[in-house]
Each structure stands twice: as structure tokens, then as C-alpha cells.
Amino acid sequence: MVDEGYAADLQNLYRAKNESDIYAVLDFCEKYYGKLGLGQIPDLMKMFNENTEASPAQNEYIVELLNKIVEKYGQEAVNIIVERSDSLLEEDSEGCMPYLIIMFFFWHADRQFDIVTPLRTAKDHIKKLYQKWVHEKIDYMQKHSEYYKPEQVKRIQHIEEQLSEL
């Protein structure tokens, strides 16, 4: 659970992500790792950033926090992440979508999370965001097929087919 200082820590994290302050991001992530719940997902979705030198490392820390929530709450967490994916557009961090796709479909391959159902009621721009980045992931997987099992590619292709029907 979050403590009284969470709001101040979150405000500092938002400042840090825009200033490429990797140490502040790391401190936040270490402090709250395993302590956050579903209510903090919207906060974390705003912390993705692809506009600074330290962004890749910062984003990896943020996705680790989200992953810990997904491990604990499963599909319920995935639904909230999908619903709040417009934060990536608001923060000019659309390019961070691959972090989420990898988390959903590769880190948790055994859990078979469903992104299509929550996308049925999502705003059109969120649907398009997922369609675009799932397609990009398939292209990447096909270009680097030596790193992926055929069933992994087929699974993502099946998801793309479902997304095209939305």
C-alpha cells in the first residue's frame, strides 16, 4: 500500500522523468516496488517518456512496477492499463507501447491476457494505438524470426486479427 508521502514522491517522479533524472526514478521504483495497486496504474501510465536520454532505462523501471501489479491482479490490471493507454499519447510517449505489449504477451505468455475485450469499449484512438503497435511487433518478430517460436508469432497474429475486427 502507498504511504502518505506517495503524492509528493509521485510529483518528484514526474519532474524526474522529464529531466532525465534516472536516480530519482530508480529511488521511486525501489521504494514502491510491490507496494502499488490498481489505483496507482493511472499514475504510472503518465510516467512513460521517450523524450530524454535516460528514457529507456526510466521506462524499464516503470514497466517493472506495472508488471508487479499485473502479477498480483492479472486481467483486472491489464484492463486498466489498456483503458489508460491514452496517457502515452498525452505524454508524447506513444513509442513506449512495445513495453506494454511485451509485458502482456511475453512476460505473461502462460496467462493469456486479453486486450481485445477492454479495447471493445475503448476510445478509437486507443484502439488504433494497439492495432499499430501489435502490427509493428509482428513485423519485428518476422524480421527476427530466429528469436521467436512460431507459436508466439501466430498468437500475436491472432490478436492482430481480433483487433482488426474492432
| Grid cell locating 73 | 491482479
Smallest Cα–Cα separation from 40: which of 13, 21, 65?
65
Query: How much is the pTM?
Result: 0.91
Percent pLDDT > 70 in the chain is 99
pLDDT digits (tens, 9 = 90+) for 25-71: 999 999 999 999 999 999 999 999 888 777 888 899 999 999 999 99
pLDDT of residue 100: 94
pLDDT of residue 3: 75
Whether pLDDT at 20 is above 90: no
- Give 100's contacts (C-beta < 8 A, 6+ positions apart): 63, 66, 81, 85
